[in-house]
Chains A and B, each alone.
Chain A
Amino acid sequence: GENVEQHPSTLSVQEGDSAVIKCTYSDSASNYFPWYKQELGKRPQLIIDIRSNVGEKKDQRIAVTLNKTAKHFSLHITETQPEDSAVYFCAARTFGNEKLTFGTGTRLTIIP
């Protein structure tokens, strides 16, 4: 089955700086890669996703890049703010398979 690895497990960034979280996946048939943000005790919230037919997607301060050849994708947050502090999970899904496999999570802390 699919295996998703995520790094780093923790990340501290000065407010205003950029944060980058990286994930790798094992199944070359995976074609959908969402990113979720989870605040303490709350549900994961989808923040951005990308499909395998594009290499990059951007939504304001958040961007995701995908390298299908290397089987890795990354989340980029620019101009970080204190409210960006949370745990971020990457995930991967294979076409035709309903299941979403999650990475191990990254605890992002924005230092004011």
Chain B
Amino acid sequence: GAVVSQHPSWVICKSGTSVKIECRSLDFQATTMFWYRQFPKQSLMLMATSNEGSKATYEQGVEKDKFLINHASLTLSTLTVTSAHPEDSSFYICSARDGGDSPLHFGNGTRLTVT
């Protein structure tokens, strides 16, 4: 089955620094990947849709200059949280589909803690 790998699984950083999270589709090519954020005991909120070779599409209220997304290849999308603040602490999960109408598969998630 389709496997999505995400790295790192957890990261602790200081306020003001930037953190990069990688999302890879291991056994399929993904022209589109999705980045979600999940606060404790809450649902998954879509942040942006990552499109290979073009700009990401951000959801309303998500700052594109703060959450930089790069989808440079068919198997890799990266999310960079720039100038991180404690309120950015959250669980970030990427996802992708193997084919237009197939189910969405999630990466393991990255728990970001900003001190």
Chain A residues packing against B (C-beta within 8 Å): 32, 34, 36, 41-46, 49, 89, 98-105, 107
**Are A102's CB and B34's CB within 8 A?**
no
In whole Å, how far is B1's beta carbon from the nearest beta carbon of chain A?
10
Least CB separation from A46: chain B residue = B103
Cβ-defined partner of B93 (8 Å) among A34, A43, A46, A101: A43
- Chain B interface, DSSP helix/strand/loop, else mixed: strand
The bracket for how many chain B residues form the interface is 20 to 34
Question: What does the 1/0 interface line of B34-54 toward A look like (CB < 8 Å)?
Answer: 100000011111100100000
Indicate if B104 sits at the interface (CB-CB under 8 A).
yes
Contact string against A for B residues 72-115, beta-carbon threshold 8 Å, 1 for contact and 0 otherwise: 00000000000000000001010001000101111111010000
Complexed CA–CA distance, A98 and B34 (Å): 9
With known contacts A34-B103, A98-B32, A104–B43 Cβ distance under 8 A:
yes
Does A103 contact B43, Cβ atoms closer than 8 Å? yes
Closest residue of chain B to A103 (Cβ to Cβ) is B43
B75 to chain A, nearest CB (A): 18
Residue of B nearest to A9 (CB): B41
